[in-house]
Amino acid sequence: MGKFEGKVAFISGAARGQGRSHAVRFAQEGADVIAFDVCKDISTTGYPLATSADLAETVRLVEQLDRRIVAVKADVRDLPGVQKAFNEGLAQFGRVDFVLCNAGIVSILNDDDPMQAFRDVIDVNLVGVWNTIYAALPTLLDQGEGGSIVITSSAAGLKGIGGPTAGGNAYVSSKHGLVGLMRNLATNYSPLGIRVNTVHPTGVNTPMVINERMAKILAEMPEAIGATSNLMPIEIIEPSDVSDAVVWLCSDAARYITGVALPVDAGCAIK
Ligand SMILES: NC(=O)c1ccc[n+]([C@@H]2O[C@H](COP(=O)([O-])OP(=O)(O)OC[C@H]3O[C@@H](n4cnc5c(N)ncnc54)[C@H](O)[C@@H]3O)[C@@H](O)[C@H]2O)c1
């Protein structure tokens, strides 16, 4: 029997990368999943976001584990859309236990329209996380059984490693902002048993960083490589490394862990 039998996880950005890995890991532990993803590109990112086919693959992987999943196309920037996605899942599963705010973008094609790039990153990475929590929080509160909210920040939420571009400044700002959001939510809701924490990965092997555009930027700005390097002798970690931390944060083993900014970064943040 898994750790999360009978529990439900609400996951943003679940079509691929870390979000998909979380969906599969939580399903392996027995949870049902409410998944959503924008499945559409945002022009200022300069790399493709997930597709409907990616989201369908997450569905297949979860169902293969004999777990249920409701998967919806929705944009974290659109609160009514996020609420609709959440409510579809709630109608199926009747509850929610874990809120994994994972969706995010990095903007590296920002020379064309730096102000738009800045706004897009803040809208997705900060406002989008708030929208995701706002959609699920009333149900967590109504249930009165506690819960766990895990927000995916970044090593860039602990130090300034965004590079000199508008998008880089926005990324570091948004990811630091999430720590403030987490602390305030933890202050208000931990007394009710709803734990709130952030995870701070170093570079993770996903299409966000493993893409043509990023390879070009890193070649042009080698200092960005230095800034993101880790203390431990590893260049990049795997999505499963982050999922393991998120599973732990949601498990009873972490039942008194709240208000914590947890690096999963091979020492990047203190380098
Ligand atoms: N990959 C890294 O090196 C790295 C490092 C530290 C933190 N992070 C963070 O980890 C999280 C997951 O990223 P990933 O590495 O899996 O990258 P990814 O690009 O593979 O996955 C992000 C997912 O979020 C979705 N998404 C983007 N904008 C959205 C929106 N507006 N609404 C709904 N969904 C949206 C994408 O379609 C994609 O499926 C992000 O918050 C990212 O900032 C990534």
Position 16 scores a pLDDT of: 98
Could you tell me the distance, in angstroms and rounded to a whole number, from the CA of residue 209 to the centre of ligand 1?
10
Using CA atoms, how far apart are residues 129 and 184, in angstroms rounded to an integer? 14
- Of the residues 47, 134, 171, 189, only one is catalytic, namely 171
Residue-level pLDDT, tens digit, the chain, 271 residues: 799 999 999 999 999 999 999 999 999 999 999 999 999 999 999 999 999 999 999 999 999 999 999 999 999 999 999 999 999 999 999 999 999 999 999 997 667 899 999 999 999 999 999 999 999 999 999 999 999 999 999 999 999 998 888 999 999 999 999 999 999 999 999 999 999 999 999 999 999 999 988 888 778 876 665 556 899 999 899 999 999 999 999 999 999 999 999 999 999 999 9
Position 244 scores a pLDDT of: 98
User: Is the CB–ligand 1 distance for residue 81 below 6 Å?
Assistant: no
**Which residues, other chains included, contact 220 with Cβ-Cβ below 8 Å and sequence gap of 6+?**
none
Position 217 scores a pLDDT of: 78
What dihedral angle (degrees, nearest 10) is formed by the CA atoms of 153, 159, 165, 168?
Answer: 0
134 is catalytic: no
User: Is the CB–ligand 1 distance for residue 132 below 6 Å?
Assistant: no
Could you tell me the distance, in angstroms and rounded to a whole number, from the CA of residue 207 to the centre of ligand 1?
9
Angle at 135 between CA 131 and CA 137, to 5 degrees: 110
DSSP character for 158? Answer: T
User: Is the CB–ligand 1 distance for residue 151 below 6 Å?
Assistant: no
Position 44 scores a pLDDT of: 94
Using CA atoms, how far apart are residues 79 and 71, in angstroms rounded to an integer? 17
Position 220 scores a pLDDT of: 80
User: Is the CB–ligand 1 distance for residue 58 below 6 Å?
Assistant: no
DSSP character for 102? Answer: -
Position 14 scores a pLDDT of: 99
Position 141 scores a pLDDT of: 98
Angle at 45 between CA 39 and CA 49, to 5 degrees: 20
Position 223 scores a pLDDT of: 63
Position 214 scores a pLDDT of: 83
Is residue 158 a contact partner of residue 139, using CB atoms and an 8 Å limit?
no
